[in-house]
Amino acid sequence: MLKLQISHPVQFHSANKQLFKSTLFLIPKSENLGVMGMAEILTSLSLLEGINDNTGKNPDAIAFAETFEQAFGFGFNDIYDRQYDLFRRKPCNLTKTLDAMRTALMKEYKRRKSQRDKKENEKR
C-alpha cells in the first residue's frame, strides 16, 4: 500500500483536507488558555446550543474540535478525553479559562471607561 501511495500520490489524496490555512496558533501551555482552556470554551459553546451545523442541529464535540483545531493550529488528540478531564476538575477550577476571559474583559472595560471619562472631563 505504501509503495502504491509513493508511486501514485494523486490517487491517495487526504480526506481531511483543510479548507483554509490559519494564521493563528494556540500557545499549548498558555497560563490561562492552552488545550484544556480551548476544551473548556468548546464545551461551554456546545452546551449553550447557540451554534448549529449545516443540518440545523447542535454539532457534536468532534465537529467543534475539528473547527477549533483547524482555526487555531493545534490538536486536542481526543476531545472526549479532554472533556472527561475538564469535568474531573474541582468545582473552583471548572471555569478557569472562562474566569480569566471575564477578568480580561472587565479590565479592558475599565481601561476604556477611564479613557472615555478622561476625555469627557477635558471637554468641560
- pLDDT value, residue 12: 47
Residue 9 has pLDDT above 60, yes or no: no
Q: b or e along 17-33 (b: 16 or more beta carbons within 10 Å of the residue's beta carbon)? A: eeeeeeeeebeeeeeeb
**To the nearest whole number, what is the mean pLDDT of the chain?**
84
Q: Specify if 8 maps to a domain.
A: no
By residue range, what is the domain housing residue 113?
30-117
Q: Specify if 98 maps to a domain.
A: yes
Question: Which tens digit of pLDDT belongs to each residue from 19-52?
Answer: 677 888 888 788 888 899 999 999 999 999 999 8
pTM of the model: 0.73
- Residues 7/13/16/19 CA torsion (nearest 10 deg): 130
Task: Say how many domains are in the chain.
Answer: 1
Question: Are 56 and 45 contacting, i.e. CB atoms less than 8 angstroms apart?
Answer: no
10 pLDDT band (50/70/90 cuts)? Answer: low
**DSSP label at 89?**
S
Q: Specify if 103 maps to a domain.
A: yes
Question: Are 11 and 60 contacting, i.e. CB atoms less than 8 angstroms apart?
Answer: no
Q: Specify if 24 maps to a domain.
A: no
Q: Specify if 102 maps to a domain.
A: yes
